[in-house]
Amino acid sequence: MESVKLFLKDHSGYIVFDIFLVLFILLLYWLDGFRNVDTAIYSIIISLILTITFLCIRYIMQQSYYKKILQLPKSMEDALQKNAKTPEHIATEKYIHELYKIYQLEAQSLYAQQNRHLQFMNQWVHQMKTPISVLELLLQEDGELDKVSVQEEVDRLKHGLETVLMNARLDTFEEDMKIEKVALRPLVSAIVNENKRLFITNHVYPSIDIAEDCIVPTDPKWMKFIIGQFITNAVKYTFEDGKKLYLSAVVKDKQVILTIKDEGIGIPPSDLKRVTKAFFTGENGRKTSESTGMGLYLAKEVCDKLGHQLEIESEVGQGTSIRVTFQHS
């Protein structure tokens, strides 16, 4: 019954128009001098029969569709059933199916983002327990507080917090991005100075070979973060004392290529293609408890969003080279 009411409401305009059309034709005949009432009644009856027949046939064709849309679906599969027979309703069903595909893709993307955030937060919270535990032990020791050790643990906490914040902002990257013309040498020098304790502690020495007039179009905040990730990784996986970290830039074919080359343990060939995947720690990551597998992933994502090309080359025992290619300003 509900489907009949919906059908009549849907076709009420057509019914009114049909009645108006019949009356208009009869009026024309009347004005033209035609006065046969029986013929007029006959015409009205024939018109009603034809209209009712047409509506009945149309209702039969659309009955299943009306019943479908009047029942609230219990699952998406119910809404995706194909019951339409008219071109209009077939097109509507096609539209709904395409809309559902878009919804599925967006839902899967959202689920992947939530899962990534949750997994990263679980790993990060677990790893932050280590510096907190070390700080507690230092505070419990008798005698003068070892400020150097405290500062090292604080730096680890700050680095972890920065990574979490950048990971959270990655989903709204476009709102947070600001491309500027940036002098590359001062930017790299500032990042090296911020990590000087890391260099001193690990006995690794930075070497900067970047021209003062080297300008690149980039977002300085995000670029500072990813270069910091490269430096941290390079120093962290350089286990021998006295090694160097080379930071250089060259202009080639209207492009600026920033290279960060270390003399660390290198990345195994089997891991090289996967180091930019989320949460991938690989063989080297298992050698240190601090690896989250998110540093290079975030760096790759940021470079892609900024339009910079990221390349990684490595040889076990010889070190790793990371190149970031900018369009020359």
Q: Give a yes or no: residue 296 inside a domain.
A: yes
Domain range for 33 is 2-71
Which pLDDT score, from 0 to 100, does residue 285 have? 57
Which of 28, 45, 71 is the C-terminal boundary of a domain?
Answer: 71
* % residues pLDDT > 90 (the chain): 19
Q: Give a yes or no: residue 274 inside a domain.
A: yes
- Write the CATH number for 323: 3.30.565.10
| Cα–Cα distance for residue pair 213/217, rounded to 1 Å | 13
**Are the C-beta atoms of residues 234 and 260 closer than 8 Å to each other?**
yes
**CA 262 remoteness from chain centre:** 31
DSSP state of 170: G
Average pLDDT, the chain: 82
- Kindly state the average pLDDT of the residues 171-186: 84
Q: Give a yes or no: residue 222 inside a domain.
A: yes
| Cα–Cα distance for residue pair 142/121, rounded to 1 Å | 34
How do residues 92-141 score in pLDDT, each as one tens digit? 778 888 888 888 888 888 888 777 777 777 777 777 777 788 888 888 88
Nearest to 228 by CA among 180, 174, 299: 299
Which of 55, 71, 87 is the C-terminal boundary of a domain?
Answer: 71
Which pLDDT score, from 0 to 100, does residue 192 have? 92
Q: Give a yes or no: residue 37 inside a domain.
A: yes
Domain total for the chain?
Answer: 2
- Scan for tokens 């604080």, then name that residue: 154
Predicted TM-score of the model (pTM): 0.62
Q: Give a yes or no: residue 157 inside a domain.
A: no
Q: Give a yes or no: residue 267 inside a domain.
A: yes
Which of 20, 40, 71 is the C-terminal boundary of a domain?
Answer: 71
| Greater pLDDT, 118 or 314 | 314
Q: Give a yes or no: residue 166 inside a domain.
A: no
Q: Give a yes or no: residue 115 inside a domain.
A: no
